[in-house]
Amino acid sequence: MAADNNFFVSLDIGSSKIVILLAEEIEGQLKIFGHGIGPSAGVKKGLIVDSVKTSQAINVVVEKAYSSCNTKFFNVSVNISDPHLTIINRKGQVLIADSVITEKDVELALKSAKAVATSTNKQVINSVPNSFIIDKDPITHRGVEVDKPVGLEAKTLEANMHIVIVSNQAVGSIEKSIRKSNLGTSMIVLNSMASSEPYLSQDEKDNGVCLVDIGSGVTNISVFTNGGIIHSAIFKSAGDQITEEIAYAFNTSFNEAERLKIHYGNAQVKSLREDQLIEFKQIGKLEDYYLSSYSLVEVIEQAYLELFSLIKKNLKSKKLDRSLKSGYVLTGAGSKIQGCDELFLRSFRVRSKLGQVDTGKIDGNEMIISDSTYACALGLLLYEPDESYLEQLQPDNTVGFMSKIKGSLFKF
Ligand X SMILES: Nc1ncnc2c1ncn2[C@@H]1O[C@H](COP(=O)(O)OP(=O)(O)OP(=O)(O)O)[C@@H](O)[C@H]1O
Site for Mg ion in 323-382 (CB under 5 A): 376
Among 83, 215, 339, 379, binds ligand X (CB under 6 A): 215
Q: Please, which residue, 236 or 406, has the CB nearer to ligand X?
A: 236
Binding flag, residue 189, ligand X (CB under 6 A) = no
Q: In the bound complex, what is the minimum distance in angstroms from residue 286's beta carbon to ligand X?
A: 26
Binding flag, residue 262, ligand X (CB under 6 A) = yes
d(CA 53, CA 157): 48
Decide: 89 and 223 in contact? Cβ < 8 Å: no
d(CA 115, CA 106): 14
CA distances from 154 to 94, 136, 395 (A): 11, 10, 17
- AA letter at 228: G
Binding flag, residue 83, Mg ion (CB under 5 A) = no
Among 14, 217, 327, 364, binds Mg ion (CB under 5 A): 14
Q: Which residues pair with 92 in a beta bridge?
A: 159
Q: Please, which residue, 216 or 222, has the CB nearer to ligand X?
A: 216
**Binding partner of 240, given ligand X, Mg ion, none, CB within 5-8 angstroms per partner class:** ligand X
Q: In the bound complex, what is the minimum distance in angstroms from residue 368's beta carbon to ligand X?
A: 13
Q: In the bound complex, what is the minimum distance in angstroms from residue 86's beta carbon to ligand X?
A: 19
Q: Please, which residue, 17 or 122, has the CB nearer to ligand X?
A: 17
Site for ligand X in 319-348 (CB under 6 A): 332-334, 336-337
Q: In the bound complex, what is the minimum distance in angstroms from residue 305's beta carbon to ligand X?
A: 15
Please say whether the dihedral angle defined by the alpha carbons of residues 48, 54, 58 and 59, taken in this order, is positive or negative: positive
Among 10, 15, 68, 77, binds ligand X (CB under 6 A): 15
**Which residues, at least 6 apart from 277, have a Cβ–Cβ distance to it below 8 Å?**
290, 291, 292, 293
Binding flag, residue 198, Mg ion (CB under 5 A) = no
d(CA 61, CA 4): 18
Letter string b/e over residues 53-86, b meaning 16 or more CB atoms within 10 A of that residue's CB: ebbebbbbbbebbbebeebebebbbbbbbbbebb
Q: Please, which residue, 154 or 380, has the CB nearer to ligand X?
A: 380
Binding flag, residue 46, ligand X (CB under 6 A) = yes
Among 87, 218, 229, 296, binds ligand X (CB under 6 A): 218
d(CA 5, CA 75): 10
Binding flag, residue 352, ligand X (CB under 6 A) = no
Among 265, 327, 339, 355, binds ligand X (CB under 6 A): 265
Binding flag, residue 82, ligand X (CB under 6 A) = no
Characterize the bridge pairing of strands 362-363 and 29-39.
Answer: parallel
Decide: 386 and 28 in contact? Cβ < 8 Å: no
Stretch that binds Mg ion, among 11-19, 167-175, 180-188, 299-307 (CB under 5 A): 11-19
Size of interface with Mg ion, in residues (CB under 5 A):
3
The length of the chain is 412
Binding flag, residue 17, ligand X (CB under 6 A) = yes
Q: In the bound complex, what is the minimum distance in angstroms from residue 54's beta carbon to Mg ion?
A: 14
Q: In the bound complex, what is the minimum distance in angstroms from residue 201's beta carbon to Mg ion?
A: 22
Interface mask (CB under 5 A) for Mg ion, residues 199-218, using x and -?
----------------x---
Interface mask (CB under 6 A) for ligand X, residues 222-261, using x and -?
----------------xxx--x--------------x--x
Q: Please, which residue, 108 or 194, has the CB nearer to ligand X?
A: 194
Query: Which residues contact ligand X (rule: CB under 6 A)?
Result: 14-17, 40, 46, 81, 215-218, 238-240, 243, 258, 261-262, 265, 332-334, 336-337, 373
Query: Which residues contact Mg ion (rule: CB under 5 A)?
Result: 14, 215, 376
